[in-house]
Structure 1
Amino acid sequence: MARPEPASSQGGVVRMKRGVRLVLAIALVAVPAACRPAAAGEGVETVEITIHYSHFDPSTFAFAPGTTVRFVVHNTDPIDHEFILGDARVQEIHELGTEAHHPPRPGEMSVPAGTTRTTTYTFSLPGSLIFGCHLPGHYAYGMRGVVTIA
């Protein structure tokens, strides 16, 4: 003859079912939250810029302070260019400088004709920065853009 389980054992089954339900409920909330896009200041935001006829397109951007941005720059021109990101002083130094090619540095790179290059930059403080090309005559021709950090 089958014996009924003691009351304490049946209570354990009820507690176990409640525990499983609790774990499932937490999973239903946690998984979508973990899959959401990164908020400002989290992760890396990617933007694409095309160089065509010695101009950047687009030439203006706005980001929140603390944002890290990966700039993917496509040079569709038959001539070399560069992408230099910084304040007016950085632009002046590069305009007067003699560095024909830039080793990998955040916000600075050479972009040979017909290639795509990538650089990453973190915008720490509010304000504005300029990006430009300082190969002979390019900056004067208008090959520049603005990043607003606010």
Structure 2
Amino acid sequence: MFSRKSLMLTACLLVLSASVSAGAGHTYEFGQPATASKATRSIEVVMGDMSFEPKAIKVEAGETVRFVLVNKGQLLHEFNLGDAAMHASHQKEMLQMQQSGMLTPTGMKEMSHDMAGMDHAAMGHGMKHDDPNSVLVEPGKTAELTWTFSKATGLEFACNIPGHYQAGMVGKLTVSQ
């Protein structure tokens, strides 16, 4: 029979294995993070509860875009750039974070440095939301994500908090030549 401590340890190990497989130096075929000073334009994206406005965005390959993310909803939301497969994988990680108690409806809790006897901070991995193609925005807050798009492709911007993508919190991002 599993104790609560064993279940927490199992959840941590699952997230840790996902983090290790993703690697510390994430690379993306569709581009890379950039500084806001490199942006050639800014696009405001308003997050409502289970919606994005605009619902579709068009950018050019080679363009650096500063996304200004305004959460006008009552819940925590995420802005994540990727394709459908990347979002499906990230949704599993977000579910684990929610089940561990780290992800709440309105924010993120910091995990203790000694959760279940493991020092995640010293390991450099663990339960963190630090992918460069993604940002969490608390209710009433504004955040930014700046990205340089490297090639023409079809992507999505999505909120991968459990249930949000399925409720329609996803938009189309077209990168053209």
Task: State yes or no: 1:106 paired with 2:102.
Answer: no
Q: Is the 8 A contact 2:48 2:73 kept in 1?
A: yes
What is the CA deviation profile of residues 60-84 of structure 1, one whole-angstrom value per residue up to 9, with x for unaligned ones? 0111100111100000111111111
Q: State how 1:121-136 maps to structure 2 within 5 Å.
A: 121-136=147-162
Report the TM-score, using the length of structure 2 for normalisation.
Answer: 0.57
Which of 46, 55, 58 lines up with 2:54 in the alignment?
58
Which residue number corresponds to residue 140 of structure 1?
166
Q: Is the 8 A contact 2:65 2:146 kept in 1?
A: yes
Name the larger-Rg structure.
1
Which residue number corresponds to residue 85 of structure 1?
81
What is the CA deviation profile of residues 37-63 of structure 1, one whole-angstrom value per residue up to 9, with x for unaligned ones? xxxxx8431100101132000010111
Which residue number corresponds to residue 70 of structure 1?
66
Letter in 2 for 1:83: F
Q: Is the 8 A contact 1:106 1:120 kept in 2?
A: no
CA distance in 1, matches of 2:168, 2:70: 18
Report the TM-score, using the length of structure 1 for normalisation.
Answer: 0.67
- Which of structures 1 and 2 has the larger relative contact order (alpha carbons within 8 angstroms, sep 6+)? 2
Report runs of 4+ in structure 1 exceeding 2 Å deviation. Answer: 98-103
Letter in 1 for 2:162: P
Unaligned 5+ segments in structure 2 are 1-37, 98-102, 109-128
Which of 39, 45, 55 lines up with 2:41 in the alignment?
45
SS of aligned partner of 1:66? coil
SS of aligned partner of 1:125? coil
SS of aligned partner of 2:86? helix
CA RMSD of aligned residues (A): 1.6
SS of aligned partner of 1:78? coil
Unaligned 5+ segments in structure 1 are 1-41
Q: Is the 8 A contact 2:57 2:174 kept in 1?
A: yes
CA distance in 1, matches of 2:74, 2:161: 14
CA distance in 1, matches of 2:52, 2:90: 17
Q: Is the 8 A contact 2:39 2:66 kept in 1?
A: no
